[in-house]
């Protein structure tokens, strides 16, 4: 830390934990778990801000926008962990999902020295995407001051993309750089400076809520179910069958037949059982950007 700088709360070694290496293991584990629970409480305090971010993102994404996660180190990897699940869970196209990680793909598995300090790299990588107002960029940094991530957010905002910044301590330049800045104050860690712990948990909870809320607002959830999910194994085929049976009161054989006829498209299969022809089901789903509830409501009206 440079002379004159104030030590961030995430870096402070609290007196209560200084002797943790001498504690019985169960005591250490119990303390870490209790500390992690504070992360959920911190996220709960910004629920309104996360909801605003989700609504704003859904309005931008519509049919063509991209969702971009940006970060360095643990924060970047947490972004990747969240984003990669959107395809299997909600059918989010790979072409509409991008990750900007300080140090590139090599940093997914190991630290790349100095990468997070390269503000100009963040700017250049964001500019290379050709961002537009239809895109949404989520920047993550526990410190709130990672130059690479700030560079991404600044460039994205200049391009007109919606920018959302998540940080865990004030002051946070990332929060100021983003159009929607969300400060999730998690305080000191049990192990001083180990922000993969409480701060990382808070980021994961926040992203779970944020990305899921975006998918809900885009109509990719129907009656609490993942009707846009990709069927890639036997377990998911069984889940899809059960979903269709529950949502249409059909038999297992009817659900299987509809899934086969629709090419394992759950939403189209549901519409088939409800009386749609396959071509019309696909056309209606395309018209309403995959929003099953909107398709059914339009027919009822």
Tokens representing residue 5 in the block? 């700088």
Terminal CA-CA length for the chain: 64
Q: Is residue 153 part of a domain?
A: yes
What confidence score (pLDDT) does residue 7 get?
A: 58
> In this predicted structure, what is the pLDDT of residue 2?
42
Indicate if 31 and 178 belong to the same structural domain.
yes
- 173 and 289 inside one domain: no
* Residue 172 domain-assigned (yes or no): yes
Asked whether residue 282 is assigned to any structural domain, the reply reads yes
Q: Which two tokens stand for residue 162?
A: 């919606």
CA of residue 56 relative to chain centroid, distance: 14
- Are 156 and 264 within one domain? no
In whole angstroms, give the CA distance from residue 122 to residue 156: 10
Is the residue at 278 inside a domain?
yes
Tell whether 118 and 172 lie within a shared domain. yes
Using the structure block, give the residue that is written with the tokens 């089901």.
281
* Contact criterion met (CB below 8 Å) for 93 and 63: no
> What integer pLDDT is reported at residue 72 of this predicted model?
96
* 162 lies in some domain: yes
Both 45 and 143 in one domain: the answer is yes
- Residue 112: predicted pLDDT: 84
Take residue 78 and report the two structure tokens written for it: 């947490």
Enzyme catalytic residues: 85, 116
Whether residues 95 and 55 share a domain: the answer is yes
pLDDT for the residue numbered 4: 47
Q: Is residue 225 part of a domain?
A: no
CA dist 216 and 225 (Å) reads 10
Same domain, 68 and 155: yes
Asked, for residue 192, whether it belongs to a domain, the answer is yes
Q: What is the pLDDT of residue 251?
A: 98
**Integer Cα distance of 132 and 146 in angstroms:** 24
pLDDT at residue 246, as a whole number: 98
Given 218, 250, 282, which residue is the final one in a domain?
A: 218
Residue 131 sits in the same domain as residue 156: yes
Task: State the residue range of the domain holding 262.
Answer: 234-300
**Are residue 175 and residue 63 in the same domain, yes or no?**
yes
Residues 265 and 191 in one domain: no
Looking up residue 278, the CATH number of its domain turns out to be 1.10.8.1080
In the chain, the number of structural domains is 2
Per-residue pLDDT of the chain (301 residues; tens, 9 = 90+): 444 445 567 778 888 899 999 999 999 999 999 999 999 999 999 999 999 999 999 999 988 999 999 999 999 999 999 999 999 999 999 999 999 999 998 888 888 889 999 999 999 999 999 999 999 999 999 999 999 999 999 999 999 999 999 999 999 999 999 999 999 999 989 899 888 899 999 999 999 999 999 999 999 999 999 999 999 999 999 999 999 999 999 999 999 999 999 999 999 999 999 999 999 999 999 999 999 999 999 988 7
Cβ atoms of 143 and 167 within 8 Å: the answer is yes
């Amino acid at each position: 830390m440079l002379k004159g700088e104030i030590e961030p709360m995430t870096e402070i070694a609290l007196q209560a934990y200084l002797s943790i290496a001498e504690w019985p293991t169960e005591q250490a584990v119990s303390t870490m778990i209790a500390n992690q629970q504070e992360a959920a409480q911190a996220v709960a305090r910004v629920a309104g801000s996360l909801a605003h971010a989700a609504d704003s993102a859904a309005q931008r994404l519509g049919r063509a926008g991209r969702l971009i996660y940006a970060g360095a180190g643990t924060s970047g990897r947490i972004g990747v962990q969240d984003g990669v699940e959107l395809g299997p869970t909600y059918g989010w196209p790979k072409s509409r999902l991008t990750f900007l990680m300080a140090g590139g793909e090599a940093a997914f598995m190991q630290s790349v020295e100095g990468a997070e300090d390269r503000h100009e790299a963040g700017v250049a990588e964001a500019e290379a995407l050709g961002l537009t107002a239809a895109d949404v960029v989520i920047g993550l940094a526990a410190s709130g001051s990672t130059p690479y991530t700030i560079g991404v957010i600044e460039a994205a905002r200049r391009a007109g993309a919606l920018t959302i910044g998540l940080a865990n301590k004030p002051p946070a330049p990332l929060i100021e750089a983003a159009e929607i800045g969300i400060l999730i104050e998690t305080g000191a860690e049990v192990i001083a400076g180990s922000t993969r712990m409480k701060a990382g948990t808070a980021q994961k909870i926040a992203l779970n809520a944020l990305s899921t809320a975006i998918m809900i607002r885009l109509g990719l959830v129907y009656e609490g179910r993942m009707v846009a999910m990709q069927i890639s194994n036997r377990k998911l085929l069984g889940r899809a069958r059960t979903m269709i049976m529950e949502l249409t009161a059909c038999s297992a054989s009817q659900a299987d037949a509809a899934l086969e006829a629709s090419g394992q498209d759950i939403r189209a299969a549901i519409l088939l059982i409800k009386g749609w022809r396959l071509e019309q089901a696909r056309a209606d789903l395309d018209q309403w950007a995959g929003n099953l509830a909107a398709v059914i409501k339009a027919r009822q009206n």
